[in-house]
A = this chain, B = another copy of it.
């Protein structure tokens, strides 16, 4: 029997806001305090679970100014949020963002292992190295780590966390009341890691979790980001603009993973998408025009500053050539910053034209009736442009158009599952449970 490859499904739960979605909080369906309302998150997670989604996904940021987007200003800490969801769901995966730049590996390891134990094996870690340089000021540093240090720390951090997750063998706790044996100390292994960025003795203070190890998610499009993803990631959150770009990205990542001796099927490409769905294609295009018309040029001008460390672009003449920015952005979201500089340079764009381009480039490739959107998703999936998608969840009625309109079509075609295959995230994503490390122990 051949197991048919099926599309993986993630739900990005934002509360209010999201990139270019400044006005979602005005939606009458969305409570203004959705970003901090645990009942809102529980309801959306349960809807996603009823639709057999693989996971919910919680993004994060930790640098705040008076101008920050709505969901930056006021949000729940990702793992605190996910632990509450864990006990109101039974099958859906719980993927949370934690930065390797401003967390200790011991804390990260035990918090994720605890979530994995509480949820019965549904935890995932979205590894980020933090792009917002201003975050440094909240953690006692005058300056953000430079790019190479951030990525060096990220790799070592993940390896330390994974080593701590191997502190106990699966059968280290017999808890045999008749024989009076709670624990087998020969199956506890300290880590004794001494590295460039971290020194951690271990062992961890929690048993090996149901998945063996929580699933590693990662994003990052730079050379360093792709290399890190190919090294550590089991699922990669990216962007999808065209099927050709998507396929090229997927092939590049999978080839890199294979070159590192990994099974490329165990690195899933799952871009974030925001489909726009209506009863007919025409209505969907009208809806898209309305959404785009509602986008705020001045908000986009502010958001343009983010990759450059929240640089203030309002100080420039909109109709003069795009300003010279030197190495601004090198310590923030460098790849995005470089792409914008290149765009302006190659096209001779003014600042206004660059902002307009960013507004246009946020157009969703998935616009139409449920059948059109289902067709397009299937086309990308079968072309190898992605292994799954992360759907941004805003208004519940819009999410229901996807779960109730698009998914039944894909389900009938066998593209998405009818029923969960497993109770763990790893099991549903088709990822193996890692063996405990066999390296020599101290």
Contacts and interface: CB of A to CB of B under 8 A. Distances in A.
A175 B32 contact: yes
Interface string A182-220: 110100100000000011111111110000000000000
A42 B87 CA distance: 10
A103 B137 CA distance: 16
Contacts of A173: 32-33, 73-74
A169 to B, nearest CB: 13
B81 A114 contact: yes
Contacts of A138: 106, 200-202
Nearest to A36: B117
Nearest to A110: B77
A84 B86 contact: yes
Nearest to A209: B36
Contact of A205 (B75, B118, B168, B203): B75
A159 to B, nearest CB: 15
Interface in A46-104: 61-62, 64, 66-68, 70, 72-77, 79-81, 83-84, 86-88, 102-104
B81 A84 contact: no
Contacts of A183: 70, 73-74
Contacts of A68: 205
A111 interface: yes
A177 interface: yes
Given A64-B205, A87-B87, A103-B107, A76 B117 contact: yes
B206 A76 contact: yes
A160 to B, nearest CB: 10
A205 B74 contact: yes
B75 A175 contact: no
A182 B87 CA distance: 31
B177 A32 contact: yes
A198 B140 contact: yes
Contact of A26 (B32, B81, B88, B180): B180
Contact of A206 (B75, B79, B111, B203): B75
B25 A118 contact: no
Contact of A137 (B67, B73, B74, B201): B201
Interface of A: 16, 25-26, 28, 32-33, 36, 38, 42, 61-62, 64, 66-68, 70, 72-77, 79-81, 83-84, 86-88, 102-104, 106-107, 110-111, 114-115, 117-118, 134, 137-140, 168, 173, 175, 177, 180, 182-183, 185, 188, 198-207
Pairs of residues from A and B, 6 with the lowest C-beta to C-beta distance, nearest first: A32-B175, A137-B201, A66-B185, A83-B83, A80-B114, A77-B114
